Chain A
Amino acid sequence: MTPMEFLLLVKGPLFTIAVAIFALGLLIRLGEIFALGRAHNYAEARRSEVLPGLRTVYRRFNPDPGTFRRAPFDVVVGMLWHIGFVIALLLFIPHVELIKSTFGIAWPALPNPVVDAVTAITLLGLIAALVHRLTQPVKRFLSTPQDYLIWTVTFLPVLTGYLAYHRLINPYPLAMGLHILSAEIFLIVLPFTKLTHIFTAFVARYYNGAIFGRKGIQS
């Protein structure tokens, strides 16, 4: 297979398969959650659940001061690479173009050098997060093979994207093909692993805010 044939394969049929598995898988996962439902609550609420629920979805982006003081590395590194990942994913010119051609919606992108720098920071952040996972006692204790799998699956698209952009893998169609393939692996793995938190964390935060909210606490 030539590099160009490889690129066409990952851009064509493999892409369709990956997106299909992702979409169907995610739908099933969310369906499994909501199908469980919640028991009726007979206790008189102090206030409605909806607003506190939505507020908690937002509030959990900012850790409380005490937690920040006790775990500054977790908070800073975690935020850094999450934000970097989202910027590289959604604000890189070729990605915006891809989204535009696929879904017909577009938004302004960031200049390439900015995304380049953000990507480098994201890679460093991810490496720091991995080192932390391997060394910090609580993280090491909790970690399962899946945690390392999803780290790898998250790291690879960023790494291959960075290498492709800087022409560090040749020929270019191979570099591009590897980048797209790694993104497809990410999509396929997502619904089967805790990568689902990308979506379910918002559901979890809502429930958390709702449960506390009805008792009069903004969580």
Chain B
Amino acid sequence: MTQGANSFSIQRGLNAWREEIDAPVASFFSSCVHCGLCAQACPFFVETGDPKYTPIHKLEPMRLLWEQEYTFWGKLKARLGLKKEITDAMLEEWEPLLYDSCTMCGRCSLVCPVGNDIHYMIRKAREGMVASGHAPEGLVAASVRAVKTGSPMGLQWKTLEVQIKHVETATDLEVPIDKAGADYLVLLSSMEIINFPEYLEAITKIFDHAGVSWTLSRDCFEATNAGVQIGSKDIGAQLVQRVVDAAEKLGVPNVISPECGHAYTGIRWEGPNMIKRAYPFKVFHIIEVLDQLRAEGRIQTEGKEMDRLSMHDPCNLARKSGVVKQQRSLMDLVAGDFIDLEEHGEYQWCCGAGGGVSSNERAEELKLAAFKRKKAQIEQVEPERMVTMCATCRTQLEEGLEEFNMDIPVVGLTEMIADHLVEKEESGKP
């Protein structure tokens, strides 16, 4: 993929939008009365107080195109020469609004009184931004790396292999690789491999404990999808096709997305539409699988964490994928003193780093500003540790809490479960 400026033009961007504008988008733009309530749902507005971060305003260029080309009044005005041109300068101005100050967390979509699904439109608007060459450098670079190397961070299999060896030594268990016919193909995220190697060790232990047949694939270990974040169906389709190919080659009936938010929505909800066919396998987030195992009685734990724990729901998992109860059932297994944040589950507040914001160096300051909403939520319940299940959220929480000198460690739920497994020798007598 070449990213030369010449390969883009405003026309390509507008064409991408023409392809994206559908009946829901038209009904949303028709209904907005500029009440501004979406601003109250957006961490970027709430924490900066700058009205330009009002979610619906981020869509103004795409709204203009809709008005001019898909409403008879707009078409009439355009004929009379009253059209406001959508220019490169305009898109340049909107680039930070659509990328730096939006994590596509979808909270605005839940509070809009007329029912506008604003994050649905932001995702679509990004298609036009990519096509017209107005995507942030950091995300372009991540996409290029993902397409070229298979990982947005440029991580190679040999790096993972070193880790696999470590895990095998530490656990005395085998990490299955390329096992055709396994029940589950396990995917990872580069950020997890680099920052949170505990995850791979945790699932190795849990799956051994529960007797789950699983495998990694040498062809494709990366679950994240830079195409989904930057907003390019073409890149997204290429990346998701690798997962599909690996799963089909090994003939697995299930694919597990790791502790990562967008990877899950990318594969679970967007993937089939990007490659334009249904999968021959099912897709689960690791938390869904663990909760299923719990419900089947295949996870036996002992002891509980006795410090005060609270939980951050990743937007992609809770609000955008309906996984809310599962992580709480799992917490019940291992947490003795758990308290939910006040607004949680589908109404949770974003950590501020999702939707590509964390790959966009320019957004650094805004990312930290948006985190202040999460910080306020955490301060309200005063936990000793936070639990989450997304590597991006976890990194953002760790960095944010450190920035504000709050001594609250952040742990992944999967590893916390792994820490409490009943030793195998004893598992015969529950």
Contacts and interface: CB of A to CB of B under 8 A. Distances in A.
Interface of A: 28-29, 32-39, 41-44, 46, 56-57, 60, 63-64, 66-67, 70-71, 74, 78, 136-144, 147, 150, 192, 194, 196-197, 200-209, 211-212, 215-219
Contacts of A63: 37, 111, 113
Contacts of A207: 23-24, 27-28, 115, 117
A203 B25 CA distance: 11
Contacts of B273: 39, 41-43
A216 B28 CA distance: 21
**Interface bin, chain B:** 35 or more
B72 A60 contact: no
A211 B112 CA distance: 14
Contact of A138 (B31, B51, B72, B110): B51
B343 interface: yes
A211 B111 contact: no
Given A200-B31, A203-B27, A215-B320, A56 B21 contact: no
B402 to A, nearest CB: 27
A194 B33 contact: yes
Contacts of A44: 272, 278-279, 282
A204 B272 contact: no
A142 B36 contact: yes
B276 A208 contact: no
Contacts of A137: 49, 51
Nearest to B343: A66
Interface stretch (B39-47, B126-134, B183-191, B385-393): B39-47
B116 interface: yes
B212 interface: no
A74 B35 contact: yes
Nearest to B277: A42
Contact of A217 (B35, B271, B319): B319
Given A36-B21, A67-B111, A216 B39 contact: no
B270 to A, nearest CB: 7
A206 B34 contact: no
A41 B269 CA distance: 9
